[in-house]
Amino acid sequence: MCRLFGLHAGADPVTASFWLLDAPDSLRRQSHRNPDGAGIGVFTADGTPVLDKQPIAGYEDAEFAREARTARSRTFVAHVRYASVGAHTVANTHPFTLDGRIFAHNGTLTGIDALDRRLAELGASGTVLGDTDSERMFALITAETRRHGGSVADGIAAAIGWIADHLGVFSVNFVLGTPDELWALRYPANHELYVLDRTATSPAPARPLAVASPRIRAHVPDLTAQPAVVVATEPMDGETGWRLMNSGELLHVSRDLTITTSRPFPHAPAHLLTLADLDPTAAASQAPSAQTTTGLAR
């Protein structure tokens, strides 16, 4: 199962360090599936998206993700990939960027030919560089956002609504970042997604943000007294107060860290998939056994 991580620090940029493969035995345990890629997306001071990512084809490549990746931004999106569709290439490695936004996805879809036809109808085929369903879903969100006058909320509602009506859906959980905003969706309930509202503590915690899971670890000394909002695939050690998002919940974090939630998808996907409906590669990438459940290294 892919790992998602999103962090929004509000109006002021912060320096954060990430380790994307934290568990020391994560690539050696034969009982667990090895990751296929890892990456981080951030924004420069002028709002330009920057991606630092690499596919993982073996232990040597994983050293990229074991070393600390440090960047300064207001919004961060990190991802560890377990491939269900697409080869081990940079083009297929999350996160992706389009129209100044950064996107990462956890889940899988079927009926990609229909999605390609929809992208062609919207004139968005040329925005897809790789083979994944994830990048195609982001291209559809981007195309619908353009059609809705730049409204990301309306673009997400239109794109995911179309996907829910026309494609086989196991999960479309995602994190989408802009220089000033963070969006996250959990839909449907097959995969979990959690939010940590560090703005809810008053006064703010007098300690840095330092969170860790078996796959992703983040340390943000600048967030000692400054609030922030974090979204992650699983509750991470180092902080309490994680809340499981509801199925169908779309979360938005604004520049001033105001959190709003909506439920734009009142029904389940028309073609809701289970693991039994997926081919063996996709099922292996989505099963809970694709994650390591051992204790943390640090």
User: How do residues 277-293 score in pLDDT, each as one tens digit?
Assistant: 887 777 777 876 444 33
224 pLDDT higher than 50: yes
User: Which tokens go with 20?
Assistant: 């994307």
User: Which tokens go with 97?
Assistant: 């960027």
- The C-alpha atoms of residue 183 and residue 155 are separated, in whole angstroms, by 12
Distances (CA, A) of 14 to 4, 206, 220: 20, 16, 7
Chain centroid to CA 191: 12
pTM across the whole model = 0.91
At residue 57, the pLDDT reads 74
| 25 pLDDT tier (thresholds 50, 70, 90) | very low
pLDDT digits (tens, 9 = 90+) for 234-262: 999 999 899 999 999 999 999 999 999 99
Domain total for the chain?
1
Query: From start to end of the chain, where are the E strands?
Result: 3-8, 14-19, 37-43, 49-55, 69-73, 75-81, 96-98, 101-106, 109-110, 168-169, 173-177, 182-186, 194-197, 209-212, 217-220, 229-232, 243-244, 249-253, 259-262, 271-272
**CATH code, domain carrying 140:** 3.60.20.10
pLDDT digits (tens, 9 = 90+) for 46-94: 999 999 999 987 666 778 888 899 999 999 999 998 876 667 788 999 9
In this structure, is residue 76 part of a structural domain?
yes
User: Which tokens go with 240?
Assistant: 């309490």
In contact, 178 and 8? CB cutoff 8 Å? no
**What's at 173, amino acid-wise?**
N
Query: What mean pLDDT do residues 144-157 have?
Result: 98
In this structure, is residue 193 part of a structural domain?
yes
- The C-alpha atoms of residue 232 and residue 236 are separated, in whole angstroms, by 8
Parallel, antiparallel, or unpaired: how do β-strands 229-232 and 3-8 relate?
Answer: antiparallel
In this structure, is residue 239 part of a structural domain?
yes
Q: Where are the alpha helices (DSSP H) in the chain?
A: 59-66, 112-121, 133-147, 152-166, 280-286
At residue 86, the pLDDT reads 65
In this structure, is residue 184 part of a structural domain?
yes
User: Which tokens go with 101?
Assistant: 């936004």
Query: What mean pLDDT do residues 42-46 have?
Result: 97
Number of Cβ within a 10 Å radius of residue 225: 11
In this structure, is residue 295 part of a structural domain?
no
Distances (CA, A) of 259 to 32, 228, 229: 36, 11, 9
Question: Which secondary structure element, helix H or strand E, spans residue 188, and what is its range?
Answer: none
Residue 151 half-sphere exposure, CB side, CA atoms within 13 Å? Answer: 9
At residue 113, the pLDDT reads 97
Torsion angle, alpha carbons of 100, 72, 258, 176, to 10 = 40
- The C-alpha atoms of residue 115 and residue 6 are separated, in whole angstroms, by 26
User: Length of the chain, please?
Assistant: 298
In this structure, is residue 298 part of a structural domain?
no
- The C-alpha atoms of residue 167 and residue 106 are separated, in whole angstroms, by 16
Domain that holds residue 207: 3-290
Q: Is the peptide bond before 208 cis (omega within 30 degrees of 0)?
A: no
In this structure, is residue 253 part of a structural domain?
yes
C-alpha Rg value of the chain to the nearest Å = 18
Strand order in the sheet with 259-262: 96-98, 101-106, 173-177, 182-186, 249-253, 259-262
